[in-house]
Amino acid sequence: MSDKKETKKTEQPVEDKPEEKVEEKPKGKSKGKSKGKSKEKPKETTKFKFECTKCGTCCQNRTSIPITFTDLARWTKQGSFIQIILPHLELESMSDVDELSKIAIIPFIKMKDVDEHGKGICPFYDIDNKICNIYFTMPIFCKTFPLSYNGQKFYVSDSTCEGLGKGSMTKEALLELRGTAITDYNQRAETTLSMVPLQGMFIRHFMKQSQESVSRLSEEDQKKLDALINKSKDEPAEQEKSKEDEKSKES
């Protein structure tokens, strides 16, 4: 599974029309038809190259992994597998990561052993064997790393990735990776947009449940609940007053 390092995201655009490298034909006139097997046409290569080195750095130093409804549906169809993943799923508040993240909260995989910078290790990464335990059904976000798409252009999401510039990548392989990046963006967009009305529905549902629960309380229990609510409202004011008293004593 792939991920991101602690460095800040830098969008490095990937050219829409990758440069093709074609072997030069030998100069001079050919003497008749060549006997035997014909030479295979060389595969077209691209400027953007990436080959995962399985260093695992990206899986150990990141904040979160965004999840789509498609990921959730796939894991649910896999039966008990969702029970393994569900404990590590949470909802992430709005952020300025991209335009999608500004709209609504989204589901994501929470990292473990988080440091002071909010970076941690993916709970599904096997450090000892350097493998992803859910590789066969990993989130689509991980499949497209480090190539990303923001709705307008392709870019490298992590320029410090060790696998960048290594190996070889054909034009067909790049087109496939770009397709995955577009699918990732579209699925995250659909998930984020769907979360907007769902948030309102969840809020109304839980508020209705709370009101019904309160209405079923006895008069004595309602008085106790009111007392707790009033106490919680007074606590911030009391704490602020206590701080002001301490400052006045110091001065």
- Per-residue pLDDT of 188-238, as tens digits, reads 889 988 888 887 888 888 888 877 777 776 777 777 767 777 777 666 666
Indicate the pLDDT class of residue 3, thresholds 50, 70 and 90: very low
Q: Give the model's pLDDT for residue 220.
A: 78
pTM for this prediction: 0.64
Predicted confidence band at 19 (pLDDT cuts at 50, 70, 90)? very low
What the block records as the tokens of 42 is 């060389």
CA distance 216 to 213: 5
Quickly tell me which residue has 């064997």 as its tokens.
129
Q: Write down the pLDDT at residue 227.
A: 76
pLDDT at residue 120 in the model: 92
| Residues composing the chain | 251
Tell me what pLDDT residue 204 has.
86
d(CA 97, CA 2) in angstroms, rounded, equals 18
What does residue 38 show for φ and ψ, rounded to 5 degrees?
-80, 145
Mean predicted confidence (pLDDT) in 123-152: 91
- For residue 4, the model assigns a pLDDT of 42
DSSP states along 139-192: -HHHHTTTEEE-SS-EEES-TT-TTBT-S--BHHHHHHHHHHHHHHHHHHHHHH
Name the amino acid, one letter, at 67: I
Q: For 138-186, write each residue's pLDDT tens digit.
A: 999 999 999 999 889 999 988 888 888 888 888 899 999 999 999 999 9
Show me where the domains of the chain are located: 12-16+43-196
Instruction: Name which of 58, 6, 64 is nearest 164 in CA terms.
Output: 58
Give the pLDDT of residue 185. Answer: 93
User: Which residues lie across from 179 on neighbouring strands?
Assistant: none
Q: How does DSSP assign 38-73, residue by residue?
A: PPPPPPPB-S--B------HHHHSBSEEE--HHHHH
